[in-house]
Chain A
Amino acid sequence: MVFYLFCAIFALSAASYLLGRRRAVNVASFDALTLHSRPGYHGAFVAMWAGLPSFILVLLWLLFQGPVVDGLLVSSLPAERIAGLDSARIDLLVSEIKAVARGRVFGEPDEHVLAAAERFASWQGIARWAMAACAIALLLFGAAVARSRIGTRFRARQGVERVMDVLMIFCSLVAILTTVGIVSSLLFEAYRFFQHVPMTEFFFGLRWEPQIAIREDQVAGQGAFGAVPVFVGTLLIAVIAMVVAVPVGLLAAIYLAEYATSRFRSVVKPVLEILAGVPTVVYGFFAVLTVAPAMRRFGDAIGIEVAPNSALTAGAVMGIMIIPFVSSLSDDALNAVPQSMREGSLGLGATKSETILQVLLPAALPGIMGGVLLAASRAIGETMIVVMAAGLIANMTANPLEGVTTVTVQIVTLLIGDTEFDSPKTLAAFALGLVLFVATLCLNVVALRLVQKYREKYD
């Protein structure tokens, strides 16, 4: 239905284009030179004023129809049916009514539910037809008004361009809107979380056991929301990843930038970049399938016990993933060092390695640091590798052979499955998300600053 409506809007807009164009040609008595704008612009003008408003109307309608109908549905239920139910129970009731309306009846719903389902189905039908009717009426109205304005002196091109400007500005604001959406939703849900759990407990508490009961009949722990062990685990895994990635990435960058022939470079660099393009769920599976058993066998061979979900496994595999980040940003930084510095050092009799270690690396250090920080923010925010390869239990330890958990693991495990938006368990995920967002944002801002400053220095 909605799909056909969009098709209809599109087709009618196309028709309005032809209509407007025809009208313009007629008005100009078939001499296009007497028109201010080309006939196509007149057509586009009519099409825009026909299609855009009704398109926007349909989108808004679709966004708000669900909540409005739900509200009507709840208020139409007899008071004694919903008396004493909390919001979660009412939500359940509403979804039962919807399921019945769609013909999926489980068990024997009571009469109120059946009646409400009937009401719901009829409202849904009415809403759809009303939406279609309003959209088409608005479209025709827009087309008629726009068409009536066409004349030889009518500035259709300016009209079209103004609308295009507005659309383009809106599109560039979407980036801002996204950020605003992220920040406000995280802040809002985290605020609700801190109403349940004091901030001091979250930031300084040493016990993390969030698996509490959502419904009364579930068996679960008492719940403790001290996030310090989670932060420690995140840092531990990120540090292991950096220990793997920085030396390998930096040395690879040095070789590629200073020693490699251009042919070697043109082959090896894209192949290295593949490491960054592999989806992280693949790395996660690789960690579980290959790396973790190998680590355990190695540990057994030298007589150390390695946990199956050790921080070392997750960190090492994550390190593999971020090698290309470090290497390509360091490569850029080294390449940006002016040739004159290289030549000056070589001219004084330094060997190539002395030039690299004593001249180029110090000169490129800010850029390299920027790259390392970006890689660190990647490591902290990386999700699938740790979800699959790291542990679930918050373990306050710095021993890489034990299992630890991370912020992202907790977010995912808290939100998979039974999500209820007023339980501290669910809201805790948003508080963790807020911490994650702020931490990575700081790292990114500093890193981007460093990289940019450094670039300006040599430009």
Chain B
Amino acid sequence: MTDLPAATRDLTIDWSSAATKRRIARRYRTERRLRLFGLGAIGTALLLLGVLVTSLVITGHSAFVQSHVEVEVFVDPARINAEDPFKGNYRAIVKSAFLKVLGGLEGRADERKAVKMLSRGATLQVRDAVLDDPSLIGKTVSFTFPFADPIDQLHKGVTPRDVPENQRRVSDKEIAWYDQLASQGLISKPLNWRLLFAADSRFPELAGLAGAIMGSFYALLVCFLISFPMGIAAAVYLEEFAPKNKWTDLIEVNINNLAAVPSVVFGLLGLAVFLQIFGLPRSAPLVGGMTLSLMTLPTIIIATRASLKAVPPSIREAALGIGASRHQVVLHHVVPLAMPGILTGTIIGLAQALGETAPLLLIGMNAFITSASGDLLEPATALPTQIFIWADSPERGFVAKTSAAILVLLGFLVVMNGLAVFMRRRFERKW
């Protein structure tokens, strides 16, 4: 031991001095402040999430219902070609029926205006009913027609009544007619099944998501069929068979980087390779699915590798020990044990792909399709691109429609992610 230098100053601290107390108080204040800031940051993030969801629900809930009016329609035989019911002046039939309900309109201008309160779908509705059942000709049938968008917005209270007439999209006359119909008890507001089961339309009251849901379904199906087997095969090779060398390192770095490449770049790839070089049709769910599968592949590979890693080596050694080949070990034991994790990763990857918009826009999956087609090569739209199209549409009704479509998309995502969480909880094994 060397000599310690003698204490040159008094090391004892006077804990009761005012200065010390102040210092300690300050230190604890900092402590509380940091804690508060942290809580505040979390609160802010959660608040923003809340605002996001609430604003969508507030604007979107009204699109789940649609205002209708009940009209007694006389299917006038004079206006329909009996041999070919497709040919007929259904517009006039609807018009006279609706005018009869309103009663006592003066002048053609008013009549024309009044008929515009109904959706354009009304004519088709009568025609389709007659085509279905030609015996309706000559009878009086009760129909419920959707209102056109401005009246629908009025009914839902989106269009205010107390602003000057020239600042709203419904005139005073239309409001009067609407009130007259309402007082007769003819207006109803049933659930809007068209939202899910009709195809797209220029008119908000007729537009639905069926085409988009079909398109997304087919694109995801293609994406799954390509990326699931390929992802597992690649991950199994890299994790179980590949020698550790420069090549496999390169592949690994590559996969990690691909997972972080902006999605729009994959769209460029799809456009340049699938459409330009291979000459596949534009806007087709097949191309959409192929492009999405390239994006999903890294996600699935990374998830699969993680769950293969989690299978303990003892399983492999035991199987090898009783004479299984390396392929048998992997195929019969390791992959089945890792399957829950693989499936969870796949579902999460597909959920990401479902919400992806930019690559689909670039390959043209934002087509305007008025009848849902079930073909991989026909032009289609997908849910997120449909949202994009509707968000760009000027009609007031499409604001609510867009929010509703977003809620539907979020619903699908919640179901998929919920399934992933459930599978993780239910099947995950801790070794």
Interface residues of A (CB under 8 A from B): 63, 66-67, 70, 157, 160-161, 164-165, 167-169, 171-176, 178-179, 181-182, 185-186, 188-189, 247-252, 254-256, 259, 268, 271-272, 274-275, 277-286, 288-290, 320, 323-324, 327, 351-354, 356-357, 374, 377-378, 380-384, 387-388, 408, 411-412, 415-416, 419, 421, 429-430, 433, 436-437, 440-441, 444-445, 448
Task: Decide: A383 near B357, CB < 8 A? Known: A173-B251, A268-B46, A288-B391.
Answer: yes
Chain B residue contacts of A388, Cβ below 8 A: 388, 391
When distances are taken between beta carbons in the complex, the residues of chain B under 8 Å from A256 are 38, 42
Contact between B41 and A175 (Cβ–Cβ < 8 Å)? Answer: no
Q: Does B19 contact A (CB under 8 A)?
A: no
Contact pick for B42, options A174, A252, A281, A429, CB 8 Å = A252
Q: Let me know if A271 and B49 touch, CB within 8 A.
A: yes
Question: Of the candidates B27, B34, B263, B294, which one forms a contact with A383 in the assembled complex, judged by CB atoms under 8 Å apart?
Answer: B263
Query: Among residues 343 to 391 in chain B, which have CB atoms less than 8 Å away from a CB atom of chain A?
Result: 351-352, 354-358, 361-362, 366, 384, 387-388, 391
Q: Which among B84-92, B136-144, B198-206, B252-260 touches the partner chain?
A: B252-260
Given contacts A179-B258, A436-B262, 19 further A-B contacts (CB under 8 A): A157-B325, A172-B234, A172-B242, A179-B257, A185-B268, A247-B41, A251-B37, A252-B38, A259-B38, A272-B46, A280-B357, A289-B403, A290-B52, A351-B27, A381-B265, A388-B391, A408-B264, A416-B361, A445-B257
Shortest distance from the beta carbon of A192 to any chain B beta carbon, whole Å: 11
Q: Is the CB of A272 within 8 A of B45?
A: yes
B294 touches A178 (CB 8 A): yes
CB <8 Å contact, B387 and A282? yes
Q: Does B288 contact A (CB under 8 A)?
A: no
Report the separation of the CA atoms of residues A254 and B33 in the bound assembly, to the nearest whole angstrom: 13
C-alpha spacing A186/B272, complex, angstroms: 8
Nearest CB of chain B from residue A171's CB, rounded to whole Å: 4
Provide the residues of chain B in CB contact with A181, threshold 8 Å.
269, 273
Tell me whether B297 and A178 are in contact (CB under 8 A). yes
Q: Which of B28, B38, B230, B280 contacts A174 (CB 8 A)?
A: B230
Which B residues touch A437, using CB under 8 A? 261-262, 265
Whole-angstrom distance between the Cβ of A202 and the nearest chain B Cβ: 17
Q: State the 10 A-B residue pairs at the shortest beta-carbon distance, nearest first.
A: A381-B262, A255-B38, A279-B355, A251-B41, A185-B272, A168-B237, A383-B358, A171-B233, A172-B234, A66-B279
The chain B residue sitting closest to A185, CB to CB, is: B272
The size bracket of the interface on B is: 35 or more
Q: A67-B279, A248-B41, A259-B38 are in contact. Are A284 and B391 (CB under 8 A)?
A: yes
**CB proximity to A under 8 Å, residues B107-155:** none
From A254, A384, A433, give the contact of B357 (CB < 8 A): A384
Residues on A with beta carbons closer than 8 Å to the beta carbon of B242: 172
Q: Which residue of B lies closest to A411 (CB)?
A: B264
Q: Which residues of A contact B20 (CB under 8 A)?
A: none
Chain A residues lying within 8 Å of B356, measured Cβ to Cβ, are: 279
The answer for the CA separation of A353 and B292 in the assembled complex, in Å, is: 45
B35 touches A255 (CB 8 A): yes
Q: List 21 A-B contacts (CB under 8 A).
A: A70-B279, A165-B237, A167-B233, A168-B236, A171-B234, A174-B297, A176-B250, A179-B257, A248-B41, A274-B49, A275-B49, A278-B52, A285-B56, A285-B402, A286-B52, A380-B262, A384-B357, A415-B268, A415-B361, A440-B262, A444-B260
Contact A176 B56 (CB under 8 A): no
Residues B38 and A381 in contact, CB atoms below 8 Å apart: no
A168 close to B233 (CB less than 8 A): yes
**A282: which of B265, B269, B327, B410 is its contact (CB, 8 Å)?**
B410
Give the distance in Å from the alpha carbon of A179 to the alpha carbon of B258 in the complex.
7
Are A161 and B327 interface neighbours, CB within 8 A?
Answer: yes
Considering the chains assembled together, what is the distance between the CA atoms of A380 and B264 in angstroms?
11
Of the residues A188, A252, A281, contact of B384 by C-beta under 8 Å: A281
The proximity string for B residues 400-423 relative to A, scoring 1 for CB distances below 8 Å and 0 otherwise, is 001100100110010001000000
Q: Within 8 Å of chain A (Cβ to Cβ): is B399?
A: yes
- Report the bound CA distance from A288 to B52 in whole Å: 12
Contact present for A377 and B38 (CB under 8 Å) = no
Check: B2 CB closer than 8 A to any chain A CB.
no
Interchain CB contact (< 8 A) of B391 among A63, A285, A448: A285
Tell me which residues across on chain B come within 8 A of A440, comparing CB atoms: 260-262, 265
Residues of B near A411 (CB, < 8 A) are 264, 268, 362
Q: CA of A95 to CA of B327 in the docked complex: distance in angstroms?
A: 49
Q: Which residues in B have their C-beta under 8 angstroms from that of A251?
A: 37-38, 40-42
- Among B44, B234, B271, B402, point to the contact of A175 (Cβ < 8 A): B234
**Nearest chain B CB to A412 CB, angstrom units:** 6
Alpha-carbon separation in the docked complex, A172 to B229 (Å) = 11
Please state if B265 and A182 are interface contacts (CB–CB under 8 Å).
Answer: yes
Does any Cβ of A come within 8 Å of B51's Cβ?
A: yes
Contact between A172 and B251, CB atoms less than 8 A apart: yes
A376 to B46, CA, bound (A): 22
Q: Given A174-B234, A174-B297, A280-B355, is A285 in contact with B387 using a C-beta cutoff of 8 Å?
A: yes
Q: How many Å lie between the Cα of A384 and that of B356 in the bound state? A: 9
Assess A384 versus B388: contact at CB under 8 Å? Given A168-B237, A168-B241, A351-B30.
yes
Given the complex, which residues of A lie within 8 Å of B237, measured CB to CB? 165, 168-169, 171-172
| Contact flag A186-B268 (CB < 8 Å), given A278-B52, A279-B384, A416-B361 | yes
B366 CB, min distance to chain A CBs, angstroms: 7
Residues of chain A within 8 A (CB-CB) of B30 are 351, 353-354
Question: Is the pair B260, A433 in contact by a Cβ cutoff of 8 Å?
Answer: no
Please name the residue on chain B nearest to A179 by beta carbon.
B254
**Which residues of B sit under 8 angstroms from A441, Cβ to Cβ?**
257, 261
Contacts of A171 in B (CB 8 A): 229-231, 233-234, 237
Chain A residue numbers with a CB within 8 Å of B325 are 157, 161
Contact of A352 among B31, B42, B294 (CB under 8 A): B31
Q: How far is the CB of B158 from chain A (nearest CB, A)?
A: 13
Q: How far is the CA of A418 from the CA of B238 in the complex (A)?
A: 42
Bound complex: CA A141 to CA B238 (Å): 33
Check B409–A282 contact: CB distance below 8 A: yes
Report Cα–Cα, A385/B151, bound state, in Å.
Answer: 32
Q: Which residues of A contact B431 (CB under 8 A)?
A: none
A353 contacts B391, CB within 8 Å?
A: no
**Given the complex, which residues of B lie within 8 Å of A284, measured CB to CB?**
388, 391
Q: Out of B264, B278, B409, B417, which one reaches A412, CB within 8 Å?
A: B264
B374 to chain A, nearest CB (A): 12
B301 in contact (CB, < 8 A):
yes
